[in-house]
């Protein structure tokens, strides 16, 4: 068995939330926990509700109803529940009223802390403002805001009135905003005048105004003052001009009432609006934050994300449902210097940090000298999602960021999943880069091309049973939902990720199925190639793509960000390194050097854009792109 990268402490083994749950149910081992939770999913999810103290206004009569087929399964039938009650009301009106709910820092260094009572009052005030404008249960409301406390309160306010909130990435341009507002038939928009990013002022209100020219259904826009104010029209109203009413009775919504439509990035076509509901999302996400990241009473969780990505509702719902403290930062983690993230951790005593492998690879370029100047001892859990790890960055993060104490809770799911398919929990030893196994209560497997389970080889990641957090379909497009996830193997969700299970039962991801490279009949995930390249001392980051080739079907082209100056000798070294590790047939056709790689704001590598740019194809929707100049870099690569 290869060496382990991390082993759990006695505290995790005895006092973690997962360990306490196991003890309460007489479960002795992690394997037994996974097996029982996936074999009897109704028992598991009912037990989670009780264990975490999730409150239903009216109890559910049935945990799972799959009478319409697995694709259209519903959960907690007959129950009345509202996420806002569980995340805010019960804490603000109970013993946690004075506990910090949100701690915020702006790029300019300002800080704000809201306790649960303040969050309760602010969300009530926003709910009252919306109702005064005519907003009601079932209305779609766009939230186009940066990472500020008012954005969290706005999400809670929409839940309180039974509306459907639509997260919109703060970096989107007018076209991407308009497409989402049009598709969900939004009637209201919550935004702010602007924010700062790397010292530059981003005037959100002006961008929103351009988008709304093609969104006639949007009746009113509520604007929050964040920087300098904005030009207003008759459609607009400043939030601070509404009468301040801080009492509001949260609506008793059905467990299956939608609370959110969240859109995929749209890089492969028209964005899909994934529908999520009060009961299922609340229970699934609270369980994940409790069992996977082990959030406890005194923890402060910070996930590097944006209000428009799935990890924002994940952290808002999960942290607040458990009565924890959520840290949010509005700015770039490397501004004005590379040690900004380390300063944030030290200043705010962050204990659970969510970041991406790409972010770690980026920070590795600068060494660990500045990191070592900061006290990161508050950290006890690291977490990541969005892309596969490479061994070197994984080990660097465990050693240098986590000080050897912290597991990397590597989890994988998606916008449509609403949560995770795969994840470790901090009671098991970890190999570098592993995802551990199926997320609790999730019947996950790896299938070959014939729909049969496969071990020791790369296959398709699938799910064979429903779960509470699954999307209730694609908004206004049920046929697309079935085609996207259920059409390949009947009754089985195919997610589009490549995965494998090793001889020790540990799971690993290898990238997206549609990113798979097939050379002379041999299939390989891009992450495997990229891991080999970044193992070279001169390489900071890399991206691998397959391009058409008359002889092999596809040929391998790699783009590399270096720590040193490039040379033809280094180019040859990298080609030989891949050839040595994977075989001569996999030797790259080209190695090209660039200064940066196209990524989303949450640091996902946009491989498809790299491929399209290289092949001279139309790029499509660039709205999720953080660094547009990186696409031009691909075109100029040497």
User: From CA 88, how far away is CA 223, in angstroms rounded?
Assistant: 23
Q: Which DSSP symbol is given to 490?
A: T
pLDDT single digits (tens) 33-89: 999 999 999 999 999 999 999 999 999 999 999 999 999 999 999 999 999 999 999
Going from the C-alpha of 343 to that of each of 191, 299, 351, 355, the distances in angstroms are 29, 18, 13, 15
pLDDT, greater one: 506 or 520: 506
Q: Which residues, at least 6 apart from 40, have a Cβ–Cβ distance to it below 8 Å? A: none
**Averaged over 512-520, what is the pLDDT?**
79
Cα–Cα distance, 456 to 629 (Å, whole number): 40
pLDDT at 629 over 70: yes
- The band of 265, judged by pLDDT with boundaries at 50, 70 and 90, is low
pLDDT at 269: 53
E-strand ranges in 225-368 read 236-238, 258-263, 273-277, 300-303, 325-330, 352-354
Give me the CATH topology for the region 86-96+109-258. Rossmann fold (3.40.50)
pLDDT, residue 517, reads: 85
Pairwise CA distance, residues 312 & 318, whole Å: 10
Query: What is the 8-class DSSP label of residue 300?
Result: E
**Token couple for 545:** 């793509």
> Could you give the CA distance from residue 222 to residue 217 in angstroms, rounded to a whole number?
15
> What does the pLDDT look like over 383-393, one tens digit per residue?
999 778 888 89
pLDDT of amino acid 527: 81
Give the Cβ contact number of residue 121 at 10 Å.
Answer: 20
Segment 332-341, tens digit of pLDDT: 999 999 999 9
Beta strand 140-144 with 444-447 is unpaired
Distance between terminal CA atoms of the chain?
41
> What is the CATH architecture of 522-636?
2-Layer Sandwich (3.30)
Res. 2 pLDDT band, cuts 50 70 90: low
Lowest mean pLDDT among 124-128, 147-151, 253-257, 550-554: 550-554
> Does 581 have pLDDT greater than 90?
no
Q: What's the mean per-residue pLDDT of the chain?
A: 93
φ and ψ of 455, to 5 deg: -130, 145
DSSP 560-626: EEESS---HHHHHHHHHHHHHHH-GGG--SEEEEES---BBTT--B-HHHHHHHHHT------TTBS
Average pLDDT over residues 532-553: 90
Specify the pLDDT at position 550. 82
Q: What is the mean pLDDT of residues 6-19?
A: 97
pLDDT by residue (tens digit) across 161-199? 999 999 999 988 888 899 999 999 999 999 999 999 998
Backbone angles phi, psi at 469, to 5 degrees: -85, 5
Please tell me the distance from the alpha carbon of residue 527 to that of residue 542, in angstroms, as a whole number. Answer: 9
Q: Enumerate the CATH 3.30.300.30 domain ranges in the chain, comma separated.
A: 522-636
Cα–Cα dist 511/610, whole Å:
15
**Would you state the pLDDT for residue 1?**
44
Q: Other C-beta atoms within 10 Å of 343: how many?
A: 16
Q: Is 490 exposed, middle or buried (0-12, 13-18, 19+ CB in 10 A)?
A: exposed
pLDDT at 526: 86
Contact 379, 402 (CB under 8 A): yes
| Average pLDDT, integer, range 363-371 | 89
Determine the pLDDT at residue 6. 96
Q: What pLDDT score was predicted for residue 266? A: 47
Strands 352-354 and 325-330: unpaired
Question: Using CA atoms, how far apart are residues 577 and 583, in angstroms rounded to an integer?
Answer: 10
For the chain, residues classed under CATH 3.40.50.980 are 86-96+109-258
What pLDDT digit, counting tens, does each position of 590-612 carry? 999 999 999 876 667 888 899 99
Whole-number pLDDT of residue 514: 74
Place of tokens 């341009």: 173
In the block, which residue shows the tokens 């056709």?
589
pLDDT in tens, 433-478: 999 899 999 999 999 999 999 998 889 999 999 999 999 999 999 9
Q: Rg (Cα) of the chain, in Å, rounded?
A: 24
pLDDT for residue 267 is more than 50: no
The lowest-confidence range among 96-110, 111-125, 216-230 is 216-230
């Amino acid at each position: 068995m290869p060496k382990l990268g991390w082993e759990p402490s006695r505290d995790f083994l005895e006092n973690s939330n997962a360990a306490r749950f196991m003890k309460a149910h007489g479960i002795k081992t992690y394997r037994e926990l996974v097996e029982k939770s996936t074999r009897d999913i109704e028992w598991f999810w009912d037990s989670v509700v009780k264990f975490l103290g999730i409150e239903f206004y009216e109890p559910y009569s049935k945990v799972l109803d799959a009478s319409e087929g697995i694709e259209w399964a519903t959960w907690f039938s007959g129950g009345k529940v509202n996420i806002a009650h569980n995340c805010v009301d019960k804490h603000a009106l109970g013993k946690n009223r004075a506990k910090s709910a949100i701690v915020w820092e702006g790029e300019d260094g300002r800080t704000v802390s809201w306790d649960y009572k303040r969050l309760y009052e602010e969300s009530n005030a926003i709910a009252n403002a919306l109702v005064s404008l005519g907003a009601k249960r079932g209305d779609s409301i766009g939230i186009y805001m940066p990472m500020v406390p008012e954005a969290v309160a706005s999400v809670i306010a929409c839940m309180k009135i039974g509306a459907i909130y639509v997260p919109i990435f703060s970096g989107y341009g007018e076209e991407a905003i308009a497409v989402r507002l049009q598709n969900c038939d939004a009637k209201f928009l919550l935004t702010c005048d602007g924010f700062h990013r790397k010292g530059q002022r981003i005037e959100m209100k002006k961008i929103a105004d351009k988008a709304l020219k093609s969104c006639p259904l949007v009746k009113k826009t509520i604007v929050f003052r964040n920087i300098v104010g904005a030009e207003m029209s008759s459609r607009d109203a400043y939030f601070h001009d509404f009468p301040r009413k801080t009492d509001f009775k949260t609506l008793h919504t059905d467990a299956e009432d939608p609370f959110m439509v969240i859109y995929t990035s749209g890089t492969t076509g028209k964005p899909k609006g994934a529908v999520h509901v009060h009961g299922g999302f609340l229970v699934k996400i609270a369980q994940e934050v409790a069992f996977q990241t082990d959030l406890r009473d005194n923890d402060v969780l910070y996930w590097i994300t944006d209000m428009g990505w799935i990890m924002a509702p994940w952290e808002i719902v999960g942290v607040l449902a458990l009565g924890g403290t959520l840290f949010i930062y509005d700015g770039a983690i490397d501004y004005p210097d590379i040690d900004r993230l380390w300063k944030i951790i030290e200043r705010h005593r962050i204990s659970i940090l969510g970041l991406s492998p790409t972010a770690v690879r980026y920070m590795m370029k600068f060494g660990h000298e500045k990191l070592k100047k900061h006290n990161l001892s508050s950290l006890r859990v690291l977490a990541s999602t969005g892309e596969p790890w490479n061994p070197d960055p994984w080990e660097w993060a465990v050693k240098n960021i986590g000080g050897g104490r912290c597991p990397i809770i590597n989890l994988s799911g998606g916008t449509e999943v609403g949560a995770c398919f795969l994840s470790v929990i901090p009671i098991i030893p970890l190999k570098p880069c592993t995802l551990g196994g199926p997320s609790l209560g999730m019947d996950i497997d790896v299938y070959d091309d014939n729909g049969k389970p496969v071990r020791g080889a790369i296959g398709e990641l699938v799910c064979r049973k429903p779960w509470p957090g699954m999307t209730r379909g694609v908004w206004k497009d049920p046929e697309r939902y079935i085609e996207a996830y259920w059409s390949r193997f009947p009754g089985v969700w195919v997610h589009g990720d490549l995965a494998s299970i090793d001889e020790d039962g540990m799971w690993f991801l290898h990238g997206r199925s549609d990113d798979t490279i097939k050379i002379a009949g041999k299939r390989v995930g891009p992450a495997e190639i990229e891991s080999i390249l970044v193992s070279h001392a001169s390489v900071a980051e890399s991206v691998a793509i397959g391009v058409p080739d008359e002889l092999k079907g596809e040929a391998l082209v790699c783009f590399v960000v270096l720590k040193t100056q490039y040379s033809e000798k280094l180019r040859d070294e990298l080609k030989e390194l891949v050839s040595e590790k994977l075989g001569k047939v996999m030797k790259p056709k080209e190695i090209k050097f660039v200064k940066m790689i196209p990524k989303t704001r949450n640091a996902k590598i946009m491989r498809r854009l790299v491929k399209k740019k290289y092949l001279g194809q139309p790029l499509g929707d660039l709205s999720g792109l953080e660094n547009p100049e990186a696409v031009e870099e691909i075109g100029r690569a040497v």
